[in-house]
Structure 1
């Protein structure tokens, strides 16, 4: 198939040769596209039975195209050309990769950091808000909606006419949005889980409003589906899934790098799909998003598998334990969704549930309800407050000592997770810590912006293998934004989300070091410098 290709070497090739013939014999691909819920065993049957609508998304979503294009034209005639998406997890990551790949502007508000909220709530005369949530009760999304309603009203703008909603039929938001008279309510297929929803209304509405040719996107997906449903040994979905979940011993750190493929941000979308689908019951595979020349690419570690996103004319993978995949964006999305379903089968887990995502949400709600005083820092070093259990800190009083203490607990087969709870647009420099830590530890390092990673790798951190050590970075700000109708602000919300997740990780016996930057600029500089001194 011209729009999708895959080559494999080393352990990935061996896994494909071992697993794919059996998958073909049992007709996994055709049964998947026939929405057979028995593919993952009796325990998964109920959940899978209501989550396989994604296999026909390219066809079912077709009627949405005309509605979205018409709404985009109507907005344009009114001078509305800027779109902000309030969504989390699959509701935001898919539109982000689609619009970035197509070179179209879309402001993705998937943070509760007050600075980022303020960046979003600007230029209101030409702005419309898309609110995306399957359940309609996601706290980050609802808080953003409230902030925009208040901002529109303050600017003298008819708020309901500037708000578009994407949600499941019958959700709390479905009813309230229609009652409020919002401009348009799009109902998505309820039989599609959020992380598999890229080619449903959740991916198409914000992308199409922003200017993406969504009909072409669906054409590419439909073409890929015709190939991916075949029970054949050259089925790229089966082959990629075998590489993800079928290596022996399991290479459970999946390092994803873009080596010239014309897709922007695909690895971030893939990270959520793979981590949240497989990281449970003490097993799973961990996606590690890296850039060129990352230490993980040449570490030679026996638990690493490299997936390279390459141009369609690239040379096949012929060395290392690696997979090279190319194709159009929609084709690659479909292939990875199939591969994730295959990996779930090979790993013996249900790829459609997410048993540990709710725990951090519950901890956040409890903290917001009780409004506890902040715990005192165990130590302060320059612009950074240091917190952690005695077991984690082991008497450390400086940032360098605390980092050494945390990394000293890293297992041989472990990984480091960096979690930064503040504005990802204004402080992207902090991501430089990821390759620095990878170089120092010679182990895979993930980097997630909070709270968005809670809807992604957050599931893997609690439900996957107990291999990680966790560095949580929070930051003070002179800015705060009230959430209308709610007894807490965005600053209080993001603080509670960080506290709640750290509490749940600790309850799961995961080592957590917490660093709070009392000054963002000075703190980021100090933290990066400390990392180089390890």
Structure 2
């Protein structure tokens, strides 16, 4: 089965198609021509096109990964926990969910979710995955697992043998792995950016150790790679369609898994790829991950529906992409690079991602801000900017409903509402229903992201894309906190600092923001959903 792209209700204008042909985009991209995205992007692109080679170069990993998995299973180590953020975790999660094999993905600073992951240590191997080697979430998780293994009675040598590391050559994590005696260290290609790394060691190592057939992924990607130099190849058609939709005013891409054998959770991976690659310089394509193809938000005057695993039906506008997962990864990466050319942006940098990180570090150093709620209604504390709360009667018995009405009213035409939940995405999973409930009440796009995970994904679009976003941040009280070993803060403090840092980044842009803090998470989520359904 090969990659195929079909469209309904969306034309690629002849001038755009002609321009892509005259600019020789197909041939220049496969030969890694860094000038494709303009002189300002050339230096970055020159060291970020290694992903085009991965279907061939990653084949060298397969034998060693199969050997390592067999070795671990023989020792009774059959539970894999992946500590990673963004590009280090999203692809392995999709691979393993689609393959139906268990993988514990820890891409959070929430203490409850961390504690859930630090169980069954007698059969656990931890994959620590970070391109830079300095990601604060991942390093904090590594420290916590080292301490947990020590409490379980393992000595230093035994602890080291429970870790597998994936990082770039020369990173601080590579040095740490050597010092701790990690069982295996996989050094990834430094010319592959994180969000383009699905077919690299970052995607393949944890997936293979969890039991997924990564050889099939590489095979399927290689079959597509052999066709990428052909004019009109499927990935080129997808990129042209994304660019054409953008220029037609459809700058929201509603993504849904579809088909009889859908790719499980593909939208979350594609969300990072597209949002972080295109959301800059005041423009971009906003991915909106849907619960199903029929979910609220699948249509609208600024929406292109993207179906993964099936062709579109009905009038559209929609684009459908079918094909095996390995080809989907490579095809969407190629299409995003083409779309970047059409939009006139650099698809390989992320100039605004560090802002919230720097805010977080400053808050950890100075202490959490003392922000008193405007009102407390049941289990929900309400804070927010004047753009949302001005004129709202918070003393009313339905003050929460009135606040949510004001939030929706603040979304401008062709804007979007982003829900950002700094909660436990396992135990607090019902918080994701807030997206559907809000989307049913507005014609504007509504996105949902788990914090701090989204900071490595749509966080770039929030700050660098068109400034038409309105934001709902949800935080929650802790049942139990966990210290970060050898640091002066806890995971709960880190999570709160990340949320506060992101609020500051949005406030600096004068974006409307509503912050709801749940003093009781379960009760607060119930209360919020009830208010939305009134």
Q: TM-score, normalised by structure 1?
A: 0.96
Cα distance, 1:243 vs. partner? Answer: 1.4
1:260-297, Cα deviation, whole Å (9 max, x unpaired) = 24310111100000000000000000000112321222
Q: Say which of 216, 238, 241 aligns to 2:236.
A: 238
- How far did residue 69 of structure 1 move? 1.2
Q: Is the Cα contact below 8 Å between 1:20 and 1:238 reproduced in 2?
A: no
SS of residue matched to 1:189: coil
Partner in structure 2 of residue 473 of structure 1: 474
In the TM superposition, what are the counterparts of 1:401-480 in structure 2 within 5 Å? 401-480=402-481
Q: Does 1:344 align with 2:343?
A: no
Instruction: Measure, in 1, the Cα distance between the counterparts of 2:317 and 2:149.
Output: 53
Distance 1:30 1:374 in 2: 56
When structure 1 is superposed on structure 2, of 244-253 and 422-431 the one drifting more is 244-253
Q: Distance in 2 between matches of 1:395 and 1:490?
A: 36
* Superposed displacement of residue 193, structure 1: 0.3
The corresponding residue for 2:5 is: 6
1: CA distance, partners of 2:177 / 2:370:
36
Q: After the TM superposition, which residues 18-57 of structure 1 pair with which residues of structure 2 at under 5 Å, given as runs?
A: 18-57=15-54
The Cα shift of 1:257 comes to 1.4
Counterpart selection for 2:76 from 79, 85, 108: 79
Unaligned runs of 5+ in 1: none
**Contact 2:65–2:205, Cα closer than 8 Å, also in 1:** yes
Report the Cα distance in structure 2 between the residues aligned to 1:182 and 1:21, rounded to whole angstroms. 53
Check conservation: 2:387, 2:410, Cα contact below 8 A: no
**Cα distance in 2 between the residues matched to 1:509 and 1:224:** 44
1:144 to 117, 141, 144: 141
Partner of 2:269: 269
Tell me how far 1:228 sits from its aligned partner. Answer: 2.1
What is the rounded CA distance, in whole Å, between the counterparts of 2:122 and 2:325 in structure 1?
33
* Whole-Å separation in 2 of the counterparts to 1:481 and 1:395: 40
SS at match of 2:326: helix
Aligned to 2:328: 332
Distance 1:277 1:344, change over 3 A: same
Shift of 1:430: 1.4
Cα offsets for 1:45-72 (capped at 9, x unmatched): 0000000000010111111111111111
Other-structure match for 1:519:
520
What root-mean-square deviation, in Å, do the aligned CA atoms of Structure 1 and Structure 2 show? 1.3
- State the shift of 1:472 in Å: 0.3
Residue in 2 aligned with 1:167?
Answer: 167
Q: How far off is 1:374 after superposition?
A: 3.0
Distance in 1 of aligned mates of 2:258 and 2:65 = 33
Aligned 8 A contact 1:288 1:444 in 2: yes
Q: Which runs of 5+ in 2 are unaligned?
A: none
Structure 2: how far apart are the matches of 1:532 and 1:509? 29
**Among candidates 357, 374, 389, match of residue 385 of structure 2:** 389
Q: Show CA shifts across 1:148-169 (max 9, x none).
A: 0000011012211100100000
Match of 1:101 among 98, 101, 104: 98
Query: Does residue 1:399 correspond to 2:400, yes or no?
Result: yes
The aligned counterpart of 2:532 is 531
For residues 392 and 21 of structure 1, the distance between their equivalents in structure 2, rounded to whole angstroms, comes to 46
Q: Is the 8 A contact 2:368 2:497 kept in 1?
A: no
2:189 and 2:200 in contact (8 A); partners too: yes
